[in-house]
Each structure stands twice: as structure tokens, then as C-alpha cells.
Amino acid sequence: MTRVFSGMQPSGDPHLGNLLGAWVNWVSMQQDRECVYCVVDLHAITSPTEHDPASLAERTVGLATGMLAVGVDPQRSILFVQSHLPEHAECTWLFNCVAGFGELRKMPQFKEKSAGKGDSVSVGLFDYPVLQAADILLYHADEVPVGDDQRHHIELARDIGQRFNHRYAAPEDPVFPLPKAVHPPAAARVMDLQEPTVKMSKSASSEKGIISVLDEPKRIEKKIKSAVTDSAGDIRHDREGKPGVSNLLEILAAATGRQVASLASEYDGGGYGAFKLAVAEAVIELLRPIQARYAELAADPGEVHRVLEDGADRARAVAVPTLERAKAAMGLLPPR
């Protein structure tokens, strides 16, 4: 069976973009794939300005709870916390001795996040893609569902795996199968409500632009009613000319299961007020069962921890033999 690996950082409250852009696919992939899902908390500590030690553990549990609430099934998938398996960090060191400085320096996200920071940039931010390669390759993942902005990281993981195999393994018996990036269609490409030309993000400049999965109905309605549109008044899908309206149309389509064109035809001419109210009501209904399930899980945190512990045990059963084989291939002396 095809094995999938995917992870998400506990760097902020899960939002509508996470749900419609990733989690709906995570849930559907469980039907015909062996899925390994991870809360990648080690990735969340690479930037001192974004890392809050006081809240990281709480955010980690909250993100795992959200994954369970939307339908990640621990009976069918492995769900665990990255830092609970030291194999990830150890495998990263092995890969550091295979990866090249030049290829890491060219990674688009490193260049973007390090711009203007000079020598204060952490080595962790620079090395982030190597840890990501370890996350993926430890589990012999066949597929990694990613957005287009992450394809460079999957290409690097393939390059590292291929280089490792070439140096340390026989051609007919590679240590690491090479994964491929897959781009499953998102339910919606959710953009910031206040800046509809950029993706909804936990690091957005304005909290008003983000709909949290746990936002109360009145808060959701207020945010959508204040979403940036334009002065033209017509409702049609045009990403270039009408990014705000197009974003709301796509959200409404994802929340209701209807086609964008049909919704645009239905609401055009009725004014932005009625249109935004319809979007708000649809999002509130979409999130209602998720929020109810989240509340149930949050009331019994011991169960969430139990799921994560069980997931770590199952992940360890795959990661440990993989790491041991990699260390042996590199000639490291095994303990007695």
C-alpha cells in the first residue's frame, strides 16, 4: 500500500486554510493509503521571534486535537509528535554529512525568511530542509502531499536520499526509497481575508484576516463581513481583478460542496452584504461539528496523549530499523 507522510507545525492556531488546503486531503487519503501524520514541533523552534516556549507544548496538543477533530483516525493512520522520536534529529545529522551547503543556501524559503537578518539567522532555519528530509525518508514515504511552495524541499529530500544510496548502499538494495511530491486538489486555496492576494497564514499581519478553526460563530461572521472586496459590487470569480470576492466564492464553494460558477450566478446582483452573510453561515456550519468534536477531545486530554504515545510507538517501529540500517551503511559501530 502507498505510504504518505505529512506534517504541520504547531506555530499558531489552526485556521480555515489548514482545514481546506490540507486536512480534508489528509482525511480522504486514509481511505486507500497508509498515512503517517506528524506534529513537527522541532520545525517550530527554528526562529526565536516565532518560538514561544511557554505555549509550544499547549499548541502541540491543540494541533493534534484539531487533527483528530477533523477526522484523522488513529486506527487507520499514525499520528505522533516529532520530538518524541529522537531518530528524526539523529537521522538529520547523518543527512547533514550528505547534504551540500550550496544547495541549502539556495532554498527559496530560507532566502525569504533570512532576508535582512544577517548573521542572526539560526542554523536550525538553514538546516530545516534536512530535518524535513529525515522526517520523510525515515518512514519510506512514497508520497508527500505539499503545496507548490514546498516542492523544492521534496526535491532536496529525493536528492539527499539518492546521494546517500549512491554512496552507502548497493544499487539493487537502497536504504531510502525516493518519495514523490503529490499535489492533491485543495478544497479551496484560502487567502487572507484582509489581504486576498496572499495565502491565509498563522503569521499574518492582521488577525482579522484569519478564521481560526475554533473561532466562535459571531467572530467568524464579523471577520467575513469585514473581508476586503472592492467597490464594483458584482459577484464573479476573477482572481486577478476581484481577489477578495473570488476568495469568498471559493470558501463558500468548499463549505457547501457547490460549484463556484453556480454560486456566483446565484449571488450576483444581491449585494456584498447578503453574499458575505451566506459565506459566514456556511463556514459556521462547516466548523460546527469539528468544534464539537474538539471540545469532546479537549475535555479528555489524557486520551489525546494516549493517541500520541501509541502513534509514537508505531512510528518508532518504522523509524528505528530505518535509522539502524542507515548507520550501519555508513560504517558506524553498533552498540552491544
Give catalytic residues, as residue numbers. Answer: 113, 199, 202
Provide the 3-class DSSP secondary structure of residue 91.
helix
CA-based end-to-end distance of the chain = 35
Provide the 3-class DSSP secondary structure of residue 98.
coil
Residue type, 62: G
Transcribe 195-222 into DSSP letters: STTSB--TT-S-GGG--BTT--HHHHHH
Provide the 3-class DSSP secondary structure of residue 3.
strand
Provide the 3-class DSSP secondary structure of residue 10.
coil
Residue 325 phi, psi dihedral angles, 5° rounding: -65, -40
Rounded distance, CA 190 to CA 139, Å?
30
- Please report the beta strands in 12-88, taking only residues with DSSP state E, as ranges in sequence order: 34-39, 77-81
Residue type, 221: E
Q: What number of other Cβ atoms are within 10 A of residue 266's Cβ? A: 14
Number of residues that this document lists for the chain: 336
